[in-house]
Amino acid sequence: MTLTLPAPAKLNLFLYITGRRDDGYHNLQTLFQFLDYGDSLAFAPAPDGELRLEPNLPGVPPEQNLIIRAARLLQSKTGCTRGARIRLTKRLPMGGGLGGGSSDAATTLVALNHLWQLGLSQKQLAELGLQLGADVPVFVRGHAAFAEGVGERLTPATPPEPWYLVLAPGIEVATAAIFTDPELPRNSPVLSLEQRLSLPWENDCEALVKKRHPEVAKLLGWLLEYAPSRMTGTGACVFATFDSREAAEQALNKAPAGVSGFVAKGCNTSPLFGALRQITDN
Ligand SMILES: C[C@@](CO)(OP(=O)(O)O)[C@H](O)COP(=O)(O)OP(=O)(O)OC[C@H]1O[C@@H](n2ccc(N)nc2=O)[C@H](O)[C@@H]1O
Ligand SMILES: Nc1ncnc2c1ncn2[C@@H]1O[C@H](COP(=O)(O)OP(=O)(O)O)[C@@H](O)[C@H]1O
């Protein structure tokens, strides 16, 4: 039996940095929403207990791939000795602020919990996920959320679900490099969700990323001509909101040379759980 499940992208509809902790991590206030577009993973049981991932990602040794790390973490926490062959269809640009690696890890935790019949709760999986990355818990929980702390304190939210055009400038932005930059603003006020929703939605990393990466500044400038636009996460991808798929596709067709992108719908429920429910109901 092969279990094929999506690993959707996320957008940070806003992102504020409210301080830095003693361990160097930053406290955030951010609004996560999923997209109906992302990577796809197929899981098959391996009789020999081995974990195998195909294909490898360029520049990422298998043992550092978040998919293998998630599977190993699950094995070590539960003592499970079963294996899996995992096939990854990578669609999300890496280092794009779309959370592809984190989403791959979350889908792996959810899928192998099912395939290996481990019976861990969603809460237990989210706690394990946090050890892999600050963004993993929201993908495990599967609901659009206002996130605080380093991203682990989640309050479900229901922002509008528009069409988005997401554009990738063709560069990777390293999250760690942005968070260690002395020029990053770190003093946004801690506000309630209601206050945050009612104020303009902004991203505290955007000005710095634009300064360090002129490709992002140029692309955002181009996109703003069409619709309200922002950067997601620590970049490099930017997104704009449209009322219809057609309007977003028209803008995509005019995208500058060297820029890739896609049109997707915002979803407050992760496509991962719709797909899993279809499988478990059948
Ligand atoms: C800030 C966000 C917003 O979604 O950026 P993107 O990565 O999506 O662009 C994420 O929370 C990122 O989450 P994730 O990509 O999982 O980060 P991690 O692997 O946990 O951390 C990568 C590095 O970023 C820094 N980091 C990350 C999260 C955070 N709240 N404070 C930090 O200072 C740390 O220096 C850490 O070494
Ligand atoms: N399965 C994976 N998919 C993508 N990146 C991965 C994966 N496993 C490890 N990584 C590493 O994580 C880094 C950030 O990945 P990604 O999630 O795509 O970006 P972001 O956090 O900006 O959304 C990559 O540059 C890569 O080195």
Give the CATH number of the domain where residue 179 resides: 3.30.70.890
- The answer to whether residues 140 and 178 belong to one domain is no
Q: Of 11, 2, 10, give the one whose Cα is nearest residue 271.
A: 10
What is the predicted pLDDT for the residue at 236? 94
- The answer to whether residues 168 and 148 belong to one domain is no
What is the predicted pLDDT for the residue at 111? 97
Residue positions counted in the chain:
282
- The answer to whether residues 242 and 210 belong to one domain is yes
- The answer to whether residues 87 and 226 belong to one domain is no
- The answer to whether residues 24 and 74 belong to one domain is yes
- The answer to whether residues 27 and 167 belong to one domain is no
Per-residue pLDDT tens digits of the chain, which is 282 residues long: 899 999 999 999 999 999 999 999 999 999 999 999 999 999 999 978 899 999 999 999 999 999 999 999 999 999 999 999 999 999 999 999 999 999 999 999 999 999 999 999 999 999 999 999 999 999 999 999 999 999 889 999 999 999 999 999 999 999 999 999 999 999 999 999 999 999 999 999 999 999 999 999 999 999 999 899 999 999 999 999 999 999 999 999 999 988 999 999 999 999 999 888 888 877
Ligand in nearest proximity to the CA of 32: 1
- The answer to whether residues 213 and 121 belong to one domain is no
- The answer to whether residues 96 and 175 belong to one domain is no
Judge if the beta carbon of residue 62 lies within 6 A of ligand 2: no
**What Cα–Cα distance (Å) separates residue 246 from each residue in 116, 164, 251, 253?**
42, 11, 9, 11
Give the CATH number of the domain where residue 124 resides: 3.30.230.10
Pocket mutation for ligand 1, best pick of 15, 32, 153, 175 (most atoms within 8 Å of C-beta):
175
249 CA from centroid of ligand 1 (Å): 30
Count of domains observed in the chain: 2
- The answer to whether residues 144 and 233 belong to one domain is no
- The answer to whether residues 153 and 170 belong to one domain is no
Give residue 182's domain range: 163-267
- The answer to whether residues 179 and 107 belong to one domain is no
Print burial letters for 185-224: b (CB count within 10 Å at least 16), e (below 16).
Answer: eeebeeeeeeebeeeebebbbbebbbeebebbbebbebbe
What is the predicted pLDDT for the residue at 48? 80
Atom 36, ligand 1: residue with shortest CA distance: 176
Ligand in nearest proximity to the CA of 179: 1
- The answer to whether residues 102 and 188 belong to one domain is no
